[in-house]
Every structure is written in C-alpha cells, then in structure tokens.
Chains A and B, each alone.
Chain A
Amino acid sequence: MLILITYDVSTVDREGRKRLAKVAKKCVDHGQRVQNSVFECILDSTQFRRLKYELEELIDKKEDSLRFYNLGDNYKKKVEHMGAKEAYDMESPLIL
C-alpha cells in the first residue's frame, strides 16, 4: 500500500534540527521524497507499523507532528502531479 508521510519538526533550537535530520533520514530509507517534507512509501502493513513506531521514537511530541495518510493498494488513481520534480513509480518497471 502507499503511505504518504508528512512532518513538521520544530527547528528553533539545535535539538530540533537534529530531530529533523533523523526524521528525514528515516523517511528517505523507506520511500521517495516527493516534496521537502512529504514522502511516499510503498510498504506492507508490518513495515508500516515498524516505521510508524520508529518515527514516533524520534520526534518530540510537544513540538513536532507527523501525519500518515494511507492511500491503500489502488493509489494510482488517487495521486495527481503537477509541475516540476515528477516522481517515479516504484511499482512499474525500473530500467535505467
């Protein structure tokens, strides 16, 4: 299924900037960066639960927020792109 992850991590202090880097790294490991703090990840339900748990450990709940949108297996109809930085489709043939 496709999970859309967005986050807001407070960067007013050094700790916050550290958290931001960690959250971003974790998301890069699991999916595609489609916009600055927006990631699209193709995950199964186990991978999704683990990722959610790991991200929850990283943030400071008083300052930061995370949002997960579950777009399911038939996500292709639900996503439309406009403008620059066209994303790749992880489930179509990958030929470079």
Chain B
Amino acid sequence: MKKILNTLFVTLPDTYLSLDGDNIVVKQEEAILARYPLHNLEAVCTFGYAGVSPGLMGACASRNIDLTFMTRTGRFLARVIGESRGNVVLRKEQYRISDDDKRSALVARNMIIGKIYNNKWILERATRDYPLRMDTDRMKKVTASLAGAMQQVREVEDLDILRGLEGAAAVQYNSVFDELILQQKKDFYFHGRNKRPPLDNVNALLSFAYTLLSNDMKSALEAVGLDAYVGFLHRDRPGRASLALDVMEELRGVYADRFVLTLINKKLIHGKGFYRKENGAVIMDDDTRKIVLKAWQERKQEKIIHPYLNEKMSWGLVPYSQALLLARHIRGDLDEYPPFLWK
C-alpha cells in the first residue's frame, strides 16, 4: 500500500506560493515563511486568497499533488487538476455505469449499506460504552430500524427508492446524534443538519470535516484514474464531484462525524472559538480552524486494519483504498463493490 504523505494547509490569506527548484516556497510580502520539498507532500490546501504561481500549479499537476483553494470559512472554490491518470477504458466503463440507472443502483446500494452499517455501529458502540449517559431505549429503537433499513436496501435495484431509504435512515441517525455529544452540551448541540450556511457550532464543524473528507476523496479517485465528477447515486451537476460524494457516504459517519465528536468530547475545541455572522451563519475563528486541521492530520496518521483488505494502514489511506476497490469493481476484477465496514 502506498505511503501517506503530508498535506500543507495555508490559512494565512496574504501569502503567495511559488516554486523554487523542487521546493514549494511560501512567501508573505517577499519574506520567505517556509520552504518544503514537494516530494514530501501529496496535497496543498489554501484557505483565503493565497496566490499561487503558474509554475507551482504545473509542478503540482505533474506530480499528482492535489492543489485546492477554499474560502476562509472552508467552502470549496477550485482545484488544479492535471492530465487524467489511469486509462480511458476504465473511465468509459464508469460513464456507462453512470448512464445506466440499474447498474448505478447496484453499486450505490453497497455504498449505502456501508453508510447505514457504519452509522448503526457508531450508535451501538456509544450505547455500549456510555449506557448511563444516554437514552438506551431510544438508541436501541433507532439501531433496530437501521438494521431493518439495511435489509431493505440490500434488495433495491432502483435509484429513487434507494435515495428514499437512504434519506429515511439518515433522519433516524440524525435524530439521536445529539446523544453522542457528551461534553460541553451548552455550546455544542445537534438539532438537525443545516448547511450553506451552517447555523450552529456542530453543523459548522460537520460541514468543515465533510469538505476536508471530500477533498481527500476527490484526489483519491483521480489518483486511481476515475472521474470524481461522474457519480452513481448523486446526479451529475456541473462542479459537483458526484462520485466523491457517493463513496464518501460510507465514510461520513466513521471518518467525519466521529472526528467532530472527538474534538468536542475531548474538549479540544471550545464554544468561544465560534462566532455568528449577521445572516446567522456560524464560523470558527482562525485558531479553532488550525486546531481542527492539526487534529485532522493526526487522525489520518492513526493506524487501522482495513476490514476488507485485511491490511494495516493509516486512516488517511482509507479514501484511497476505497477508490482502488471501486476501480477494481468497475474494471470487472471484483463482482461487487466492497464498502468500508468499520469494525
């Protein structure tokens, strides 16, 4: 399995990134802030309006380093993509599946099974670990209904029915998500998902974590030669990385939601680190964003055993390994797409 390399996050808005030899050089008004060799990086992610030289864009594209631009609040703006990797045959097959509703449904339903399975496991694990701190009866009811939903999804061959079941399962899971927040309840609570803009601290964190995960997912898909913008479950829309969103479904819970819960429950972040704009949007301040990014990077280094590949790897490689398995399925080497079922 490949090695996970580092990601450089640039959160200072008045910086300029350029290329010098094989180094990325970060400048702030002509003063050099930092210099890193490119071969140690796999992604560069900028927040705010950091400028980048065309030379560096080219170097990143040719070395398959993912260069992403986001707003200060973490909303995705653009990314630099080089020549498509992998082979055309694989991508054409991907497009064929995407055009065929039934074949799309067969792949997408495995992803949804993965999602429901993982979310159910998150709830079961929490109920087992903290039986006295949550409404166990309510949790048991939800996990039972998730188990039922999983049974139904297994049989579905129609995309719209699949979307309906997925939505219903998400509503169930969201209805008890607040129970999983064990600390700092005054500042962190979950009364339902809202986005664009997020209206409370937890939703702001979730949105940010999903953006980070989708960036990792997009570059993983491109790295194995798939087109991140052509999906099976999510419909095509210009600028939307539908396939990345598809594969992300199974990872949202175990990867992003649990990450957010850890930040809150371990008190790594505090309510003071968030502020509200006039339109109600909740935004984290610069220090909090740095804490979140640091924790995200550290999380990526943690080791797990991949349940399907049975191989020890870091969490950061899970998006890549799922992209690899999906490519193998599309190529015909695997009869079905094996979702990531967390243990």
Q: Could you say which of B33, B35, B40 contacts A42, with CB atoms under 8 Å apart?
A: B40
Which listed segment binds A: B156-164, B240-248, B290-298? B290-298
Docked-complex contact A90 and B10, CB < 8 angstroms: no
Which B positions have Cβ atoms within 8 angstroms of A?
3, 6-12, 15, 21-23, 26, 33-37, 39-40, 290, 293-294, 296-298
Closest-CB distance, A44 to chain B (whole angstroms): 7
Partner-contacting stretch, out of A8-16, A22-30, A57-65, A75-83:
A22-30
**Choice from B8, B12, B37, B298 contacting A30 with Cβ under 8 Å:** B37
Would A91 and B6 be within 8 Å (CB), given that A29-B23, A31-B37, A41-B37 are in contact? yes
- Please give, as numbers and ranges, the residues of chain A lying within 8 Å of B290 by CB-CB distance: 95
Task: Tell me the complex Cα distance, A94–B38, Å.
Answer: 13
Contact A95 B21 (CB under 8 A): no
- Residues of chain A within 8 A (CB-CB) of B7 are 93-94
Convert A65-96 into 0s and 1s, putting 1 for each residue whose CB lies closer than 8 angstroms to a CB of B. 00000000000000000000000101111111
Min Cβ gap A67→B in Å is 20
At the interface, yes or no: A37 with Cβ under 8 Å from chain B? no
CB neighbours (8 Å) of B3 from chain A are 44
What are the residues of chain A within 8 A of B21 when measuring CB–CB?
25, 28-29
Map CB proximity to B onto A42-58 as digits: 1 under 8 Å, 0 otherwise: 11100100000000000
In the bound complex, CA of A90 to CA of B36 (Å):
8
Q: List 15 A-B contacts (CB under 8 A).
A: A25-B21, A28-B21, A29-B22, A30-B22, A30-B37, A92-B297, A93-B6, A93-B293, A93-B294, A93-B296, A93-B297, A93-B298, A95-B11, A96-B9, A96-B26
Closest partner residue, chain A, to B292 (CB atom):
A95
Min Cβ gap A92→B in Å is 8
Q: How many Å from the CB of B61 to the closest CB on chain A?
A: 18
Question: Cβ of B297 and Cβ of A96 under 8 Å apart?
Answer: no
Contacts A25-B21, A29-B21, A94-B36 known; list 13 others, CB within 8 Å.
Answer: A30-B39, A31-B37, A91-B6, A92-B297, A93-B293, A93-B294, A93-B297, A94-B7, A94-B34, A95-B11, A95-B290, A96-B10, A96-B15
Give the 5 A-B CB pairs with smallest separation, nearest first.
Answer: A93-B297, A29-B22, A29-B21, A93-B294, A94-B8
A95 to B45, CA, bound (A): 10
C-alpha gap A32/B39 in the complex (Å): 12
Known: A28-B21, A28-B23, A29-B23. A95 touches B294 (CB 8 A): yes
A32, A43, A95: most-surrounded residue (chain B CB, <10 A): A95
Query: Do B6 and A90 touch across chains, with their CB atoms under 8 A apart?
Result: yes
Chain A residues lying within 8 Å of B6, measured Cβ to Cβ, are 90-91, 93-94
Known: A29-B22, A44-B3, A90-B6. A96 touches B34 (CB 8 A): yes
